[in-house]
Amino acid sequence: MPHKTQIFQVSTLYGAATLAAALDAGLFGPRDGARRILLVSNNAAIPETALRLDEMHGYERISGRFDSVVGWNEAIRPHHPSAWGPRGNDVSLWQKAFRLAWGIGERDLIELAVESIQVNPARALAAIFSESALHVYADGLMSYGPTREKLPLTIARRIQRLLHLDLIPGLKPMLLSEFDVPPEVVPDGAFRAVLDEISHDAADDPRLAPVLREKPTAVLLGQYLAAINILSAEEEEDLHVRMLAGAARAGHRSVVFKPHPTAPAGYTAALSKAAADAGVRLTVLDAPLLAETLYHHCAPELVVGCFSTAMVTASAYYDVPIARVGTALVMERLKPYPNSNRVPLAVVDHLVPDLERGQTPALVDTVPETLSPLVRAIGFCMQPKTYADLREPTESWLRANLATGPGYYFPELRLTELGLPGSRPQLRAKLQVRRARRVVRRAVRRGAGKK
């Protein structure tokens, strides 16, 4: 009888923790039912200079759940994980090569657990191991948004389920719903237990000691939105300063800033000056550990961010009130409209109190009935061809809510492009002229090419 090998692809410690919780909860069968391989991918723009997964606290505890660990970057070098995929004629050769390199028998059955199936490296793995069953896991708020790329049926039909954390109770993930992929929740208790393991592993880190000594009551989360061209570096720097100012107005005098691992040092310098001016003690935690580890050891009274998933985990798993800053600005800057950050941003904007408007920080424990229709309407506007069945409910929702809801959820241009309520006739006429001109230009180019 053929043996079974399960390959678990990860690129972040948060994602690895999600998989570890799923394993502990028995969602991948008994421990002795298959050989388990952890496949680590570093998807940073320049992997050689980025923080590696094995440098983070808790990694060894998680990797101990697997029979072996292999590196995807090393396996496909000199290609980049986000850019490389096998050519169609080479798929069988790559599978043979990886089976040999990773000690997988020629007849062994393979199961894949991957993140972000729409893009590489998950797409590449699914193509190479073309007979494998697929399990997709989502490690954050993006599971609530639509599938951002059209999947070939040869991949979509093999997806068994979408594993996700129940970060927003009552909100059903939209990801992969067009293929009727069933969502399955990774149990809260199992995930929190894994986070506690990781936190205990970091207890002796000397960089944590100054933070504990200052007893911060508020945590500020950086995301480095400039890295993905949503904000400029100056705007993101100002966003962090606004977070600190909001925490200070709320009465917090000891604050810790958890920067994104790739954030430049200048961010913290500007924040330090703002803290000094506001009379706030600021501690910067620049260490290879999860924000959740900070919550575990510091027990803060407030977590402030823009739309980081770590904000929601503070509420969901640590009972820490949360508040947002800057979501309206970021929503207006997101380009193009189908940007996969749009739904996570809208969820936070809709549910989490705005610190700058004086709203009281709170837990996200009860989800209003208004959230799901909003998410579905945004999802349709992001991917109208994929979710064509949502056009009618989206039109109804827009007629009922567009006049009273935040305009930045549904820009006039996007509504006009899709012919939805809220369209402007004059703008529509201009768009039609532009489309006609593009058609003429293409026809002229084709004609010139045939001469």
Residue holding tokens 């919780």? 21
**Nearest Cα to Cα of residue 336 among 431, 209, 437, 230:** 230
Amino acid 403 reads: A
SS3 310: helix
In the chain, CATH 3.40.50.1980 sits at 205-357
Number of Cβ within 10 Å of residue 388's Cβ equals 11
**Nearest Cα to Cα of residue 322 among 355, 290, 296:** 355
Per-residue pLDDT tens digits for 435-447: 656 655 666 676 6
Per-residue pLDDT tens digits for 194-253: 999 999 999 989 989 999 999 999 999 998 898 888 999 899 999 999 999 999 999 999
pLDDT by position in tens, the chain (length 451): 568 999 999 999 999 999 999 999 999 999 888 999 999 999 888 888 788 899 999 999 999 999 999 999 999 999 999 999 998 889 999 999 999 999 999 989 999 999 999 999 999 999 999 999 999 999 789 999 999 888 999 999 999 999 999 999 989 999 999 999 999 999 999 999 999 999 999 998 998 999 999 999 999 999 889 888 899 989 999 999 999 999 999 999 999 999 876 666 666 788 999 999 999 999 999 888 899 999 999 999 999 999 999 999 999 999 999 999 999 999 999 999 999 999 999 999 999 999 999 999 999 988 899 999 999 999 999 999 999 999 999 999 999 998 887 888 999 999 999 999 988 766 665 666 566 566 556 666 766 666 5
Give residue 310's pLDDT: 95
Element (DSSP H or E) covering residue 346: helix 342-351
How far is 62 from 353, CA to CA, in rounded Å? 34
List residues bridging with 302 in a β-sheet. Answer: 218
CATH of 4-195, one of 2.30.30, 1.10.3470, 3.40.50, 3.10.450: 3.40.50
How far is 139 from 150, CA to CA, in rounded Å? 20
For residues 161, 309, 52 and 65, what is the CA-based torsion angle, rounded to 10 degrees? -40
**Nearest Cα to Cα of residue 361 among 327, 324, 313, 306:** 324
pTM over 0.85: yes
Determine if the peptide bond prior to 86 is cis (ω within 30°).
no
CATH of domain 205-357: 3.40.50.1980
Task: Give yes or no for a contact between 105 and 131, defined as CB atoms under 8 angstroms apart.
Answer: no
